[in-house]
Amino acid sequence: MTGLPPAPNECTIRCPLCGSAPLPIMSLGTQPLAQDFLLPDQAPSSVQYELLPQICLDCGLAQLRYRPASATVFSEKYPYRSGVSKTMRDHLQCLAEYCLDLVADKPDPLLVEIGCNDGTLSRHFAERHLRHLGIDPARRAVAQAAASGVTVLNAEFNPETGRSVLAKYGKADLIVAANVIAHISDLRRTIEQICACLTADGSFVFEAISLFELMQRRAFDLFYDEHVYTFSATAVDRLARSYGLELVDCQPVSTQGGSLRYSLAKPGAKSPSPRVREAIRTEQAHGLLDPDAWNDFAAAATHSAQSLRQTLDRLRRAGSAVAGYGATAKSSVALTFAGLGRKQLDCIFDTTPEKVGLTSPCDRIPIRFPAPDLVDRYDYLVMFAWNFLPEIEVRERAFRTMGGKWITYHGSVCIA
């Protein structure tokens, strides 16, 4: 139907991969859109949803039971830029090299990136004068990619886009997607379309947060509106076999607090690495499909959120200066779930120019640039960009030298 606004929430009661009834992991409360950073006087978005991750114990795919329509999540305002941190730029260079190895024996390969964002990955293909195409619906990010020499298509990757890419460029030798597939709700259509666009011996490489790592780390704040799915090797193996591909490799990578890089090919085109079976065995031996393990996860997440609140209230009562660091989507989840706001945190520091001057979606905590004379005034900083901890610790080493301490909150609250 046309002319109707998108439904505010979508609901998943059967696993979209295998049809089983998933197990709710825990409710993380009624949440705003995780990246709905607002001007101080701007009315909050009316979109709210219950954040309720669930796990399919048959195929190992985690999914959100309710989620806002994707048009509201990935609006024109969507602030993420791949190139914002050195950690991510370095990582995407390694991913580019991995992709280039896979096409090294092809005479004139075509490389397609789904979700190219600002072109930080595809730029490596452009610089080598390889045939390439970056596809992304985010207009401003794609304009940055084009400005850096990347050939772009400003569109969502869907069957129509797939057909036009095929008609204009032919089949791809490699399709890559870094932290994108988890955002797309229609897995079957997406994987089948990727399959249609790949040459007979082509590779589809994607990276996504590892559900197993998330579980081990108790990283409850990685569940939020943008991550419709959280994948495991167990689930991707099933996904590939269900929709016409084969999982041929799987390697851990450090991004987003622990991700997996999956390599898929058409069945029989490549021999699978023993790493695939090993990853699946490890996940299942350590509780990925065990309801008790997920109960433990929920109890630990609840405990750490409560302890975080108690700790911050205690520090504030003692007169300490406390702020957050990293205006991340994760911060919105953790703050809302723990019931934190301006009473506990003066501000959240973040280097992203598009975020500075805005406020958090929960309780309007101001976002400030981490200028040294400002950061160093604080006694404690809650680390919400924990996936960039090493890079941030280097940037903010004066904070520590001046006696400042970082607070982390997964599993238990740690002040160090």
Minimum Å distance from CB 370 to ligand TYD? Answer: 6
Instruction: Tell me which residue of 345, 330, 232, 371 sits closest to 288, measured CA to CA.
Output: 232
Kind of pairing between the strands at 53-55 and 23-24: antiparallel
Q: Which is nearer to ligand TYD, 53 or 326 (CB)?
A: 326
Q: Which is nearer to ligand TYD, 66 or 80 (CB)?
A: 80
φ/ψ of 125, rounded to 5, equals -75, -40
DSSP for 218-254 reads T-GGG-STT-SEEB-HHHHHHHHHHTT-EEEEEEEE-
Minimum Å distance from CB 160 to ligand TYD? Answer: 29
Q: Which is nearer to ligand TYD, 36 or 113 (CB)?
A: 36
Q: Which is nearer to ligand TYD, 137 or 324 (CB)?
A: 324
d(CA 124, CA 86): 15
Position of tokens 């080598």?
A: 128
Sign of CA dihedral 125, 130, 136, 142: positive
Q: Which is nearer to ligand TYD, 62 or 279 (CB)?
A: 62
DSSP state of 210: B
List residues near ligand TYD by CB under 6 A: 80, 84-85, 326-330, 350-352, 355, 385, 387-388, 391-392, 395
Q: Which is nearer to ligand TYD, 31 or 193 (CB)?
A: 31
Minimum Å distance from CB 226 to ligand TYD? Answer: 8
- Helices 187-197, 159-169: axis angle to 10 degrees equals 10
Minimum Å distance from CB 373 to ligand TYD? Answer: 16
The tokens for 375 are 């950061």
Strands of the sheet containing 380-383, edge to edge, are 367-368, 348-349, 322-325, 380-383, 405-408, 414-415
Q: Which is nearer to ligand TYD, 262 or 349 (CB)?
A: 349
Minimum Å distance from CB 297 to ligand TYD? Answer: 19
Minimum Å distance from CB 385 to ligand TYD? Answer: 3
- DSSP H/E element including 326: none
Q: Which is nearer to ligand TYD, 153 or 335 (CB)?
A: 335
For 9, counting Cβ atoms within 10 Å of its Cβ (0-12 exposed, 13-18 middle, 19+ buried), the class is: middle
Q: Which is nearer to ligand TYD, 103 or 362 (CB)?
A: 362
Q: Contact, 361 vs 34, CB < 8 A?
A: yes
Strands of the sheet containing 53-55, edge to edge, are 23-24, 53-55, 62-64, 229-230
Kind of pairing between the strands at 246-253 and 259-265: antiparallel
φ/ψ of 108, rounded to 5, equals -145, 70
d(CA 202, CA 166): 14
Q: Which is nearer to ligand TYD, 137 or 257 (CB)?
A: 257
d(CA 304, CA 298): 10
d(CA 71, CA 41): 24
